Amino acid sequence: MKIVRALASTLVLAASDASAQDVQWNLVDTGVLNHSSHGKGIEMRIQPDPVPKGLFGGDKLDDLLLALCNHYAPSVIPFVQQQTDIEQPDFIAVRIVSGGEVGRYVVEAYAIADGRCGAAL
């Protein structure tokens, strides 16, 4: 992945678990991703702080990924296009990372529709 580190942002949402703690969803990295199935696209790496309990096994993970994608995509897509050689990305991907040396991640790719995230690929 070609890294673009100049764009940083934070979104604060309440976690959907029983504690309803506030979680900061930090956009920590973005860039071009070459995917063997989907082609050449844009990836956004997002790190929650703190990592909500049950995040990676939660039943609302798909909804969360799409919400994060649609929150950040309108600013990330044109930013990455300006900073790199990608004019028409084939997809946009959201990767939630837990951080640390043995961290976990989940990634979902979406079609791009009107500068936002469309259907999951």
- Indicate yes or no: pTM above 0.75: yes
Length of the chain: 121
pLDDT digits (tens, 9 = 90+) for 92-113: 999 999 876 778 899 999 999 9
Region 13-42: what's the mean pLDDT?
A: 79
Q: Is the pLDDT score of 66 beyond 90?
A: yes
**pLDDT tier for residue 57 given thresholds of 50, 70 and 90:** confident
CA–CA distance, 49 with 35 (Å, rounded to integer)? 28
How far is the C-alpha of 88 from the C-alpha of 67, rounded, in Å?
Answer: 22
